């Protein structure tokens, strides 16, 4: 249930980037959330509507790019996905594994509507 402060962080990051790019409004935000990151996207959406009110992000649509946890067995090389709980390698039973993906938790990109006056300007 730590989605409120997390959603506030998302808003802060998006606002920073939007302002740097002279955005008039933000229409879409794409987030990547790994299944091991213990973030509930429904809660993020719920808090988002609340924290974004009155900002240029109000009404922006949140898109969640969910990443399934992928593990690799270091003994036999099998790569497998975790659908439910953590399990040893399904091929050889080894617990000598590494987590390849599933821990992501980031803002990927946003879609903004620019101020018309300086639409040609690009900021680097």
Q: Which residues bind other proteins (CB under 8 A)?
A: 1-2, 5-6, 9-10, 12-14, 17-18, 21, 23, 27, 31, 36-39, 85-86, 88, 95-97, 99, 103, 105-114, 116, 119
Tokens describing residue 108? 């990927």
| Least distance (Å) between residue 105 CB and other proteins | 5
| Least distance (Å) between residue 60 CB and other proteins | 12
Tokens describing residue 36? 């091991």
Nearer Cβ to other proteins (19/53): 19
Residues 120, 124: Cα–Cα separation, whole Å? 13
Residues 121, 68: Cα–Cα separation, whole Å? 39
| Least distance (Å) between residue 27 CB and other proteins | 7
Nearer Cβ to other proteins (49/95): 95
Tokens 């593990």 sit on residue:
71
H helix or E strand, kind and range, residue 42: helix 41-51
Nearer Cβ to other proteins (49/121): 121
Question: Considering Cα of 109, then 8, then 54, then 122, what sign does the dihedral take?
Answer: negative
| Least distance (Å) between residue 54 CB and other proteins | 21
Tokens describing residue 39? 């973030």
């Amino acid at each position: 249930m730590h989605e409120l402060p997390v959603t506030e962080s998302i808003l802060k990051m998006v606002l920073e980037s939007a302002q740097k790019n002279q955005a008039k409004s933000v229409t879409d935000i794409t987030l990547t959330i790994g299944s091991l990151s213990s973030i509930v996207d429904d809660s993020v959406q719920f808090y988002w509507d609340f924290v974004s009110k009155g900002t240029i992000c109000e009404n922006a649509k949140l898109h969640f790019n969910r990443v399934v946890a992928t593990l690799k067995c270091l003994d036999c090389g099998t790569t497998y996905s975790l659908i439910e709980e953590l399990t040893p390698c399904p091929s050889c039973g080894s617990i000598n594994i590494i987590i390849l993906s599933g821990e992501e938790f980031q803002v990927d990109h946003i879609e903004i509507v620019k101020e018309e006056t300086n639409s040609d300007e690009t900021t680097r």
